[in-house]
Structure 1
Amino acid sequence: MFRLDSWRDGWHAWPQGHSWPGLQGDVDAAFAWDGRTYLIQGSQVSIYLSGQGHRQVEGYPKALQDELGVPVADAAFTCPGSTELYVIAGDRMRRVDLTQTPRHAGELLQLPHDGVDGAMCTADGIFLFRGDSYYQYRSVDELLGARQPAPPKSIAVDLFHCPQ
């Protein structure tokens, strides 16, 4: 994680534990829903309350399988206004209804990608990230209906506005 010091001298490494107390190591997937941020590490999930700072919910981390009904996650995303979580592992994706208790994952859905590093959903669509490229889809339906990956786009050029 990095932070930008725009007043003095640019980007600095910023330990995760400064923003997410108790969090150590790599995060495999993350998503936000209902005022909470979910951080997935291996087979565990930690939940933090959003707002002023991030406070870990008592009793976490917990087993990912128990919390979300999936054993692993390479990426995860929710779309604005939706109660559905999409969890990607390898070339498959599952839907999880976040309003259910306990939560159960739906059927395995085939993706046109053999793996992704991260994902997000905005009003501009679904973005899947892999290495230095990203792939954009207008909707979950377009992603699931694709037989081939969308054309790759440059993260550095398009998202960080670096020269080509």
Structure 2
Amino acid sequence: MKAVIQRVSQASVTINGKKVAAIKSGLLVLLGIVSDDATDDISWLSNKMVNMRIFPDAEGVMNNSISDNHGDIIVVSQFTLHANTKKGNRPSYIKAAKPDVAIPLYQSFIKQLESDLGKPIQTGEFGADMEVALINDGPVTIIIDTKNKD
């Protein structure tokens, strides 16, 4: 799994003109899944995300996590995170998991994140054409790949 995590002061997801998710302070997570991702990737990534100290403390130092900050999270599926751009000008998405593999992992990740954070997670819609709006706070943007756990 590959995740692009952005600390936001606000974010939203709109599908066909209807806002389906919106948060104030928190994280916008773009999540890409490959076919060999597994449940240990889900728990590791969720734990890392919930405990990552990227929010400012009283002195303005990034010492607090999303849990400490009581922030919210939006998770958006994004297969294009696994684009291969080595050859030519048209990205290849062959590494991205097919929906029959990706959807159950995506849903399991959201459930794990809800459990770890202790509150509901907002989402986009898997496979939909979405408009994602955000105000990146900091800016803080971090990329995590579960293939680089060690």
- One fold, TM greater than 0.5? no
Whose helix proportion is higher, 1 or 2? 2
- What's the TM-score bracket when you normalise by the shorter of the two chains? under 0.3
TM-score by length of 2: 0.26
Question: Which structure has the larger Rg over C-alpha atoms?
Answer: 1
For CA contacts below 8 A with separation 6 or more, give which structure has more relative contact order.
Answer: 2
The TM-score with structure 1 as length reference comes to 0.25
